[in-house]
Amino acid sequence: MLPAHLGQSPAMPLPIVIIGNGPSGICLSYLLSGNIPYVKRNAVHPNPILQRKLEESSNLSILDQDIEYLSEGLEGRSSSPVALLFDTLLRPDTDFGGTSDSVLAWWHQPERAVPHLVLGKNLPGGAWHSIEGSMFTLSQGDWMGLPGLPFKDWLSKKKRGFRNNRATAGDIVQYYQYYVAKNGLKKNFLCGTFVTSVKRLSTDSGYSGQDSRDDGSVWNFSEQQQDDCKTDHGSLFQVEGVVTTLSGSQPFSLYADNVVLATGTYDSPSRLGVKGERLPFVHHSLSALEEAVKKKEIGPMSDPILIVGAGLTAADAILFAHHCNIPVIHAFRRKVNDPALIFNQLPKTMYPEYHKVHQMMKEQAVSHPGPYGCYVSLPEHHIVSFTEDQKCIFRDKSHRQKIHNISMAFVLIGSNPNLSYLPNNGVDLAIDCEQPVSSKRNPVDVDPFTYESVHEKGLYAMGPLAGDNFVRFVQGGALAIASSVLKNVNKNPP
């Protein structure tokens, strides 16, 4: 039998369905569950202009105010004005090293809750489930917290603390699950649900943007389907997928007035696109390395493993292999001193482990063997191909080819969103509608103050899909969407 909610008819659509149950989906569910932010009585925000604006409507919740006006002129480490607004209300002086409490008080107003469902493949926590539990965050631990329940308070209750102000991925996953349970959000979460299709049924013209003139829009149902699903509602989305429960897997289909895309960008690892990349000894995730060590498929006496890439995941893989005494060949395209390398941007005192990797990359080139046994650095090298007899062919900067025996390869060069559940893989929703969606180069094109797609009314995107790459800033998207949805459903407006 399908879990409750999943056997819905088009005559009874849900106001909102969120796809993805990571920090983005969790934070939005908190706001839509009737948790309404007001400025605390007597709180003084350190930004005098913002403080003055907050005083103008101190009886109104932030969700009911003009968030474009409030966020105007704010500056910080995000390009999203609403992300900066919510962050500075939650962590007023954090960029100056302060630890001031949030100026927000959260009132639970159940009458303002908007019914919604959060769909996700795994347990709540998103990408944090696929990060090795002992890994430390790049961000300060405090910045991993969600509204109303500071992460450091939860951690101190567990009698644990930060290291160098950073938290472990294992603690973060536990905190997110606790957050969902503690705030009574569990009833909105349907874990084990994998969404395979989102389509729009429209009684009007289809796309509201440029493509709305295209009758054959990939987003629209066929005429027959539209007739089958006609309701009083102007426009509906149909969300289909597969739900897995203890009794097995079965398809589901549900209908919603609004859909939020919060599926992150970590589901589809980037590929080199070279010959032999599909051979069974070539992998594209750090967890495959951990698994291979656990199963003793590789060890100190094996041929070296190859790690490709010069980002933090590649660095984590090197540290892990180093810890297990597994020999490593490390190939990457850039020069070791390239200012764009992430290691050249991280302060040494906060990230000693990554600086150790950077030092190894500099000192252990194959032409100048250095102090780190079991590790060889190949800067400015490209992978040409992998062969069936477990060899890798490289090309150096002088276009000379080299060949090395390897036991396994781990290609860790980033990842892309998997939007295969959207028509045309969501390309039509991106800023550049000719290119695939990418968090850094080509996010989903959303209105900056509502996070609604500029191409599809009722469709929202948040988190890395909308260009907000850090947990600290994905929360602004939640504020924008909740404010927009509440204004649209007109729930007890002030």
Under the binding rule (CB under 6 A), the answer on residue 350 touching ligand FAD is no
Pattern 443-472, ligand FAD, x by CB under 6 A: --------------------xx----xxxx
Alpha helix (H) residue ranges in 37-158:
48-56, 67-71, 81-90, 151-157
Task: Please work out, in degrees rounded to the nearest 5, the angle formed at the alpha carbon of residue 324 by the alpha carbons of 322 and 325.
Answer: 60
Residue 121 engages ligand FAD in binding (rule: CB under 6 A): yes
* Cα 381 from chain centroid (whole Å): 30
The residues that bridge with 328 in the sheet, in sequence order, are 305, 375
104 near 40, Cβ under 8 Å?
yes
What's the longest Cα–Cα distance across the chain?
Answer: 73
Question: Which two structure tokens, joined as six digits, stand for 136?
Answer: 């430390």
Shortest Å distance, C-beta 316 to ligand FAD: 7
- Considering the complex, what minimum distance in angstroms separates the CB of residue 287 from ligand FAD? 11
Cβ distance to ligand FAD smaller for residue 191 or 383: 191
CB of 101 to ligand FAD, least distance (A): 20
Cα–Cα distance, 483 to 204 (Å, whole number): 25
Q: Which of residues 314 and 326 has its CB atom nearest to ligand FAD in the complex? A: 314
DSSP state string for 442-458: B-B-B-TTT-BBSSSTT
Q: Which of residues 14-33 bind ligand FAD (CB under 6 A)?
A: 19-25
Check residue 320 for interaction with ligand FAD (CB under 6 A).
no
Residue 402 vs residues 130, 272, 300, 306, 412: alpha-carbon distances, Å: 34, 18, 23, 14, 21
Q: Which stretch binds ligand FAD (CB under 6 A): 257-265, 325-333, 358-366, 405-413?
A: 257-265
Task: Using alpha carbons, select from 304, 209, 254, 232 the residue that is nearest to residue 116.
Answer: 254
Beta carbon of residue 146, minimum distance to ligand FAD (angstroms, whole number): 11
Between 26 and 236, name the residue whose CB sits nearer to ligand FAD. 26
Q: Are strands 193-202 and 235-245 parallel, antiparallel or unpaired?
A: antiparallel
Binding mask 159-198 for ligand FAD (x = CB under 6 A): ----------------------------------xxx---
Q: For ligand FAD, which is the closer residue by CB, 21 or 102?
A: 21
Q: Which of 474, 480, 485, 486 binds ligand FAD (CB under 6 A)?
A: 474
The footprint of ligand FAD (CB under 6 A) covers 19-25, 119-122, 126-127, 131, 137-139, 193-195, 262-264, 266-267, 313, 418, 421, 463-464, 469-472, 474
